[in-house]
Structure 1
């Protein structure tokens, strides 16, 4: 009897085909969203600035300036066209569209503005205001003023149907919270520890908060100031008048 190898070969080819099939590749992992350009570190005049990931709890005291005609109509850092008649501001590190309360400590005026630009890049200044904002704060003529800047929340644009609607997304009520008064910031941890012990001997609770910026590390001494902004402001004034002129309130 003559044997036929054809069926046997067909079975071998079939088995080889089954074995050579590979499992389907796993689904691709989602690509993380790119960091917005305005949130990336940037360098101006040899100095690197690191935008904050969030404005929540941000409070700063320092000198404000304003900018007007020379920049009117030019693009801001976030791509908008600068309008000096709008209530906006430039800040070196706050996220774009942060709404901040600016208080003029020289005349008591205050107002909210939206951050849409980077700056000012002048030593000792913390915020650059539009002409309109500077007028309402009463600081146009002198050019600068000592201010307190408090982050209130974020302004976002949402699409409703065929139109875009701007909405304000506030942080937690900034009148209530866990407040501290920062009285010193050191690059040497031992100096921060000495000040912390001094404050504790005076009967107040002080903590050290570490903060890194680039390759530098800071040790900030902060005194517990209660749960209301008004009480914290009073403690701030006490420290301002007793050897800590640069003390300021923060929310944690």
Structure 2
């Protein structure tokens, strides 16, 4: 009996406690937040990989008008000084786009005629062949075979304007061009806006008197008021003349691959170095010579008529 009474009493107490206890406060679940991804800031030229090669898909382009220093066409010439050969860019031979080029031991007495072009903003700030930074507003240039550094006078044969540049890079490796000028050098000889122009380049030594370039001693047809397409029969069309025989061989092979016949290399001694001339011919028929010349002109190759 007593056990039943005690059980009833305990149940009563528990009921009273449950009734007087405060109801539980429901927990308020906070909404789940998903972190938003902040977009990356656009890459500016200063943030891009300027130490890497210029992208092949991107075309070169000129600086904006507000980037060009005033009087760019009057930029002072580079002054030839004694400098050691750079550690970079002076391998005895090197290969680009499947072609092999060789670097000259000495630039003394070097002259060359051919087409010049220029390179600009695409390469500005990037490393040149000798590790320097390309500055398109300095008087510099790229050449395939001259020692680095070298100094050359570049004379536009159409305008007779000239500039002295310091070679610190390799190229150009497309077309028949023999030298790539900085934007400043191209502006000085009036090349901007024309793309390419026929020039003569002459190597200069420190302290050498800077005078007008002398024409190369090549026998050509007589000059008249109108350009002579071809001379007397038995002559040749000369497309290039090189000190480096590898460069001459590369041009010969390129012409043959483009379907030109009777392409040959003739070597003549000039001053202290042999000159390797790339010729087509001989021609016995004026119509055949004119036809070949027209084909060369369409490829921006300007031959000279020479007679052996």
TM-score normalised by the chain length of structure 1: 0.53
Give the SS at the match of 2:164. strand
Give how far 1:150 is off.
0.5
Equivalent residue in structure 2 for 1:65, among 89, 92, 117: 117
Cα 1:54–1:43 shift into 2, 3 Å? same
Cα 1:149–1:76 shift into 2, 3 Å? same
TM-score normalised by the chain length of structure 2: 0.44
Equivalent residue in structure 2 for 1:219, among 254, 266, 283: 266
Cα 1:134–1:35 shift into 2, 3 Å? closer
Q: What stretches of structure 2 of length at least 5 have no aligned partner?
A: 1-84, 221-233, 236-241, 250-263, 272-292, 294-301
Equivalent residue in structure 2 for 1:181, among 208, 217, 225: 217
* Number of residue-to-residue matches in the alignment: 159
Q: Determine the C-alpha separation between the residues in 2 that align with 1:144 and 1:133.
A: 13
Cα 1:221–1:246 shift into 2, 3 Å? farther
Cα 1:151–1:38 shift into 2, 3 Å? same
Alignment of 1:88-167 (within 5 A): 88-153=140-205
Q: Determine the C-alpha separation between the residues in 2 that align with 1:122 and 1:176.
A: 26
CA contact (8 A) 2:110 2:243 kept: no
CA RMSD of aligned residues (A): 3.8
Give how far 1:246 is off.
3.1
Larger radius of gyration: 2
Deviations 1:97-134 (A, max 9, x none): 21100001111111100001000011210000000111
Q: Determine the C-alpha separation between the residues in 1 that align with 2:243 and 2:124.
A: 39
Q: Determine the C-alpha separation between the residues in 1 that align with 2:170 and 2:245.
A: 21
Give how far 1:87 is off.
0.6
Alignment of 1:1-12 (within 5 A): none
Q: Determine the C-alpha separation between the residues in 2 that align with 1:218 and 1:47.
A: 18
Equivalent residue in structure 1 for 2:90, among 14, 39, 57: 39
Give how far 1:172 is off.
7.8
Give how far 1:61 is off.
0.6
Q: Determine the C-alpha separation between the residues in 2 that align with 1:220 and 1:43.
A: 24
Give how far 1:220 is off.
2.0
CA contact (8 A) 2:154 2:202 kept: yes
Deviations 1:211-246 (A, max 9, x none): 7439x695323689xxxxxxxxxxxxxxxxxx9953
Cα 1:37–1:210 shift into 2, 3 Å? closer
